[in-house]
Chain A
């Protein structure tokens, strides 16, 4: 058994005790709050949950991009959320302006599909370009440099969004079928089902690429140890580009989905949602793909419940709630739910 000093043991156990008590109290508090709301209005509870989860799906697509890139080069790509925003703006222009589709029809769905492919290719390309131009040179620089650069790129992308979309939010009509199911007072919009129908295959495809293909293996190897991967003959530069391409494509797809399901674009969309998506990635364990999805669904759920429940803080506190979660996570469990605690070897 461990024979640490009494003093140290006492301090450690006191701290663990405190953390565990706080954690348990917090969990009970949250469950209590959920229970009250559920009893008060079950249908509202489910509605809020549904809205939250449908947000969560979008966050998952964005979160995957963050976690893929962080997993491979340990960089938080601040600009990733803005890529999502540009995807949304592009999609809006593609579908509504260039092809003039503003209502649901088989032709419109064809355009939607075409847009999906185009936006994914475009976002992937932009992301690869960003990596090539802004990040590659700084790969061995001290962490401060690429971080600052990423923030800069984010602002440049926001500038593009500003020029393209204007300084205020724009509304668009969707080509997705309107209407909804209603089960026991809970509305399930068709667009939500549509989102799921698009997202799930994408996630499955992602998972297949990462686990079954050679490029995916190269990604995982590079994520573990860049130099060793290089020695094994893996083209690290190309692998990193590929990773950025994947992440970018997902962000683009998320942008299209967002634009079509919410009918909204705004130049600062990326900043707001990007941070939420990143929180999701951290919550699930940064670098862990399933974790990113899980974390995203959880965060979406929490956010939806906070915004939509009768007894809740409400939408004006949404950012605060999510960021508080982020801060608590970082302070107490930076490895997230599914991440492993790594003892750093010096």
Chain B
């Protein structure tokens, strides 16, 4: 009973480490170059060049793309590492945002708590420092990650997806209706909470227009999430996650506690979403309920799928690409085409086609992602393999 196998390239530990180092250095160098450009060079460019840059690579788009990367990395842990199809990740983005709204603004007028905050002491409300709120928001989200994950633990992948989807709908709706929940206002409803405090760093207070410094901070946060993802991957938790993704049953029979391990995936992933949510709140200077909808969860999924599920650097690239196309690429390209050919095509409205198309085409033709983590190539092409040793899994 000989079995035909696909030969996947084995990577020795040193080769893997070298590839990681390549990506990490590339990332750092790119970040430094970009930061230098936007802080020092851009203002000095001739007007025509400046407007081209502004049209195609505005710093706001860059910062927003980084927020997407942070959230996508979180989803990557849940879907890419542990194989749990979470379709409601927007919930964590929302909770993160509202954490900023609660702890970094004048929302709670009744209180007047200032802890290392950049806001003036006279301002009412709870004002924790940005760095504390990042942490607090992340923790709150981690808690909700566990709450959301708990009902899914025994479910098959399709039902699991639906439960997460359900939460992804419920939580934003709670915030939308949150102006009056049993008489208590927890979200200002559709009005949202605005403004949020500036980010305080030694010597400066970064407001909504300090793009290049914010870029630097967002890069730091991204690097932090990349670091966490990679560290966990090489430890026992990462191995447990991958084992669950591949064959849950065998994993449990090898001593891996399924529930606890899955919950930790949700928790860590959600933590990341929380960080992204807080960062985003400072980016748009507020948190607004109507921004949180199902398409965000799907866009994040498309980013993870495009980048290669489980591949941290791939997901980063995929996220940057899709975020940029969605916010800037499509509109700018549309303007270019329309101006050149005198057409009236509404390019931005094609984004649904983009996301849906990415998901469908990637699944049909390149399931391992654009930048395949070589191990994933095999798992998603099991259909082509006639061997019998692929039983189990979902």
Using an 8 Å CB-CB cutoff, how does the interface string of A302-316 with B read, 1 for contact, 0 for none?
A: 000000000000001
- Could you tell me the distance in whole angstroms from the C-beta of B203 to the nearest C-beta in chain A? 45
Report yes or no: A154 in contact with B83, Cβ–Cβ below 8 A: no
In whole angstroms, how far apart are the Cα atoms of A42 and B335 in the complex? 59
Contacts of B166 in A (CB 8 A): 275, 323-324, 326-327
Cβ of A163 under 8 Å from chain B: yes
With beta carbons under 8 angstroms apart, the residue of B159, B302, B379, B380 that contacts A330 is B159
- Could you tell me the distance in whole angstroms from the C-beta of A193 to the nearest C-beta in chain B? 32
Using an 8 Å CB-CB cutoff, how does the interface string of A135-150 with B read, 1 for contact, 0 for none?
A: 0011111111111110
Contacts of B301 in A (CB 8 A): 148, 151
Determine, out of B31-39, B218-226, B346-354, the stretch whose residues face the partner at the interface: B346-354
Cβ of A76 under 8 Å from chain B: yes
In whole angstroms, how far apart are the Cα atoms of A61 and B302 in the complex? 31
Using an 8 Å CB-CB cutoff, how does the interface string of B286-312 with A read, 1 for contact, 0 for none?
A: 000000001100100110010000000
**Closest A residue, CB atoms, query B161:** A147
Contacts of B249 in A (CB 8 A): 346
Report yes or no: A142 in contact with B382, Cβ–Cβ below 8 A: yes
Cβ of A190 under 8 Å from chain B: no
Cβ of B44 under 8 Å from chain A: no
With beta carbons under 8 angstroms apart, the residue of A76, A142, A162, A317 that contacts B162 is A76
Report yes or no: A334 in contact with B155, Cβ–Cβ below 8 A: yes
Chain A interface size, as a band, is: 35 or more
Determine, out of B15-23, B53-61, B117-125, B169-177, the stretch whose residues face the partner at the interface: B169-177
Cβ of B6 under 8 Å from chain A: no
Q: Knowing A76-B158, A156-B353 touch, does A149 contact B359 (C-beta < 8 A)?
A: yes
Using an 8 Å CB-CB cutoff, how does the interface string of A200-242 with B read, 1 for contact, 0 for none?
A: 0000000000000000000000000000000000000000000
**Closest A residue, CB atoms, query B295:** A155
**Closest A residue, CB atoms, query B79:** A144
- Could you tell me the distance in whole angstroms from the C-beta of B175 to the nearest C-beta in chain A? 11
Cβ of B151 under 8 Å from chain A: yes
In whole angstroms, how far apart are the Cα atoms of A167 and B294 in the complex? 16
Cβ of A159 under 8 Å from chain B: yes
Contacts of B87 in A (CB 8 A): 151
Report yes or no: B170 in contact with A323, Cβ–Cβ below 8 A: yes
In whole angstroms, how far apart are the Cα atoms of A75 and B363 in the complex? 15
With beta carbons under 8 angstroms apart, the residue of A148, A167, A334, A346 that contacts B85 is A148
Contacts of A244 in B (CB 8 A): none
**Closest A residue, CB atoms, query B87:** A151
Cβ of B165 under 8 Å from chain A: yes
Q: Knowing A76-B162, A330-B151 touch, does A156 contact B352 (C-beta < 8 A)?
A: yes
Report yes or no: A324 in contact with B170, Cβ–Cβ below 8 A: yes
- Could you tell me the distance in whole angstroms from the C-beta of A265 to the nearest C-beta in chain B? 17
Report yes or no: B360 in contact with A152, Cβ–Cβ below 8 A: yes
Report yes or no: B359 in contact with A152, Cβ–Cβ below 8 A: yes
With beta carbons under 8 angstroms apart, the residue of A152, A156, A331 that contacts B163 is A331
Q: List 6 A-B contacts (CB under 8 A).
A: A140-B382, A145-B367, A148-B85, A278-B162, A327-B167, A330-B152
B-to-A contact residues, CB < 8 Å: 79, 83, 85, 87, 151-152, 155-159, 161-163, 165-167, 169-170, 173-174, 176-177, 249, 294-295, 298, 301-302, 305, 349-350, 352-353, 355-361, 363-364, 367, 379-380, 382-383, 393-394
